[in-house]
Amino acid sequence: MEGFSEKERRIYNVNMFIANNLWKIIVSGKDSKTKLREMVEELASFFNVERCSLMLKDNKEFFCIFASKGLPSKIVKETRIKEGEGIAGLAIKEKKAIFMKKVGILVNKKDYASYQSDNLISYPIEIDKEIIGVLNITDKRDDLSLTEKDVESIKPILDRIKFVLKDLREGV
C-alpha cells in the first residue's frame, strides 16, 4: 500500500477485517450467541492477542464473561464484576476505554499475576445510553504491546458487534 500514511493503512486494515470477517459472521444465519463467540475469536486473531473476552451485563448488577478466547474455563464461569471493580469495571463506570500500559498500577498483585503482558484494553459497549458490556483485549503475542492505535481500531469494530448484541437482546 505505497503512498498511504500509517493511519490510512490502519483504517484500511480495520475496514477489510470488518468486511471480510465480521460481516460474514453477521449475515451467517447463525444464532446471536454463536455469532458473538465467533466474533471474539476473530478479534483475538486480528489484534494478535492471547486473551480476548466479551463481558455482558446479567439481569442484575453483574457483568459476566459471555464469550472468550484464551481464558481458563474456571475464570469464565466464576468471573462476575460490578461497575467500578477491576479494570473492566472501571471502564464501565467511566464509560470510556481504558488503555493500560502498566496493568500492575491498577490491580493488586494477585490479579496482576494472571496477565502475561503489561498492557490491556477494556472498552465499554453502550447501547441506548446503557453500558451493556465490555470488550477486554490483553496479552499481545510476540512480545509486542497494544497501542493507542489498537484502541482507536476497536470503535468501528464494536459498532458491528452492537448489531448482534441488539439481536441478542431482542431474542433473535
Distance linking the first and last C-alpha atoms of the chain: 40
For 80-108, write each residue's pLDDT tens digit: 999 999 889 999 999 999 998 765 544 44
Domain boundaries, the chain: 6-169
Residue 88 contacts by C-beta under 8 Å, 6 or more apart in sequence?
Answer: 55, 63, 81, 122, 134, 136
Give this prediction's pTM.
0.86
pLDDT category at 10 given cuts 50, 70, 90 is confident
Tell me, what's the pLDDT at 101?
A: 75
Pick the CATH number of 6-169 from 3.30.450.40, 1.10.260.40, 3.40.50.720, 1.10.600.10: 3.30.450.40
pLDDT of residue 35 exceeding 70, the answer is yes
